[in-house]
Structure 1
Amino acid sequence: MTAWKILCDFDGTISVEDVIDSLLDRFGRPGWEVLEQDWRAGRIGSRECMTGQVALLELTQAELDKHLSTLWIDHAFPAFVAKARELATPIRIVSDGLDYAIEQILGRYGLDALPLAANHLAPGTPPRKWQLTSPFQAEGCRSGTCKCACVEQARQAGYKTLLIGDGASDFCAADRVDFVFAKHRLIEHCRHAGIPYVPITGFEDALELLPRLLDGSLIEHAAPAVAAAAR
């Protein structure tokens, strides 16, 4: 039986709110909204959008850390990680968000050792400025983190892939994985594209569904359209 690997989005999936949005709302200088509109309209990719928006942040390291200390994750995610480990199923966080923020937030729960692919946030010059680089970008992909490349890496290692996500940054990868636990906008994308998925509201649902995915019963007893798509 082929083993599974979980690829999990962070912002809006693990985290209760989008980290970069919360930072821009509080510390962003004028102009970040225009970049957001250009990205939503498809005029620029998320990497260009995020790079520009991060350059418009103005805050100290202390202010950043204090703000991150107020952000929370889904209350059932630690239990989900524990269950995945019990079932020998590796998890990799794949995010178009900020590596430092993800590590700081997960660190409060003892989960900062989870493998992570995300954009790199670093102090810029002068002080109070920040810069973004994208070590997990891929040629031809406009995202900061190419989640499709992460899927391909897992497949090359011999895994089936489960994607857990919620929005537009997950659409492309959803087309390439073996199954999806979908929240919010990703539900509609999977439904319209005929992608095998189940809707979840959070990690309480994912915690219940994971063992059923791994033993095959989730797909076997899924709705006919989902089961057909999975085949």
Structure 2
Amino acid sequence: MIFCDFDGTITNSDNIIAIMKKYAPAEWDKLKNQVLTQEISIREGVGKMFSLLPSNQKEAITSYILEHAEIREGFAEFVAYTKKQQIPLFIVSGGIDFFVEPLLKDFVSEDVVYCNKSDFSKDTITILWPHSCDDACVNDCGCCKPSIIRKLANEETYKIVIGDSITDLQAAKLADKVIARDFLIEKCLEDSIPFDSFENFFDVIKILEKQEVQI
């Protein structure tokens, strides 16, 4: 099974960061740094960042992301490759439904997408957490990728994790193979987690083609 991150992995840049840079007041940056240094949990940081944004900006924020987000080169070919090879592909994202789902709708079905949800009914944006940590995780992940892996895979499953940031680190610790870029490379090096690096999904296909996996 392949468990692939979305922001900064499938897309060329992190959409939450793009939203904050465009719409949030300055205090968002401190929250981001606290998440990256693991001073606060991902769930706490992301929740607080979005609580800085008025709900009445929903249409503007959504339009901005859908217009500016870029899908990483080779992703469509990668999805086709996994289907041809009959490798189950799941998108596990700390991103939010209002931009993750429309950006992915031309590539994969919604039933393989696991992400956070949003509530615009209050004055500021509230993030909902339908995929919270199970009893085996104490990291307060928000969208808990290790919990999703434990739910979908078993001990015999060969697990491949593809990601780029701190939000993918705990999933990488459960993987049989890690395909990493950007900040996740630094964290894998720190924690002595073996990985292959990639810049686009054509690289990922080449890595998988070299991998002998029992499906």
User: If the length of structure 1 is used for normalisation, what is the TM-score?
Assistant: 0.82
1:136 aligns with 2:131: yes
Whole-angstrom CA distance in 1 between matches of 2:111 and 2:163: 17
Q: Is the 8 A contact 1:162 1:177 kept in 2?
A: yes
SS in structure 2 opposite 1:52? helix
Q: Is the 8 A contact 1:95 1:118 kept in 2?
A: yes
Runs of 4+ in 1 over 6 A off after TM superposition: none
Whole-angstrom CA distance in 1 between matches of 2:181 and 2:102: 24
Q: 1:173 maps to what in 2?
A: 171
Deviations 1:12-68 (A, max 9, x none): 110111111111111113432232233234331110011111111135332123112
Q: Is the 8 A contact 2:66 2:99 kept in 1?
A: no
Q: Is the 8 A contact 2:131 2:142 kept in 1?
A: yes
Q: 2:49 maps to what in 1?
A: 53
Look up the equivalent residue of 1:44 and give its one-letter code.
I
Instruction: Structure 2: state its 5+ residue gaps.
Output: none
The percent of aligned pairs where both chains have the same amino acid is 25
Q: 2:197 maps to what in 1?
A: 199
Deviations 1:92-136 (A, max 9, x none): 1111121221111122x343536122111221323xx31101111
1:27 aligns with 2:23: yes
Instruction: Structure 1: state its 5+ residue gaps.
Output: 217-231
Whole-angstrom CA distance in 2 between matches of 1:90 and 1:157: 16
Q: 1:212 maps to what in 2?
A: 210
Q: Whose radius of gyration is greater, 1 or 2?
A: 1
Report how far residue 77 of structure 1 moved: 0.4
Whole-angstrom CA distance in 2 between matches of 1:200 and 1:41: 24
2:113 alignment partner, one of 106, 111, 116: 116
Q: 1:65 maps to what in 2?
A: 62
Look up the equivalent residue of 1:68 and give its one-letter code.
I
Specify whether residues 157 and 43 from structure 1 end up closer, same or farther in structure 2 by C-alpha distance, changes over 3 A only: closer
Report how far residue 157 of structure 1 moved: 7.7
Look up the equivalent residue of 1:182 and give its one-letter code.
A
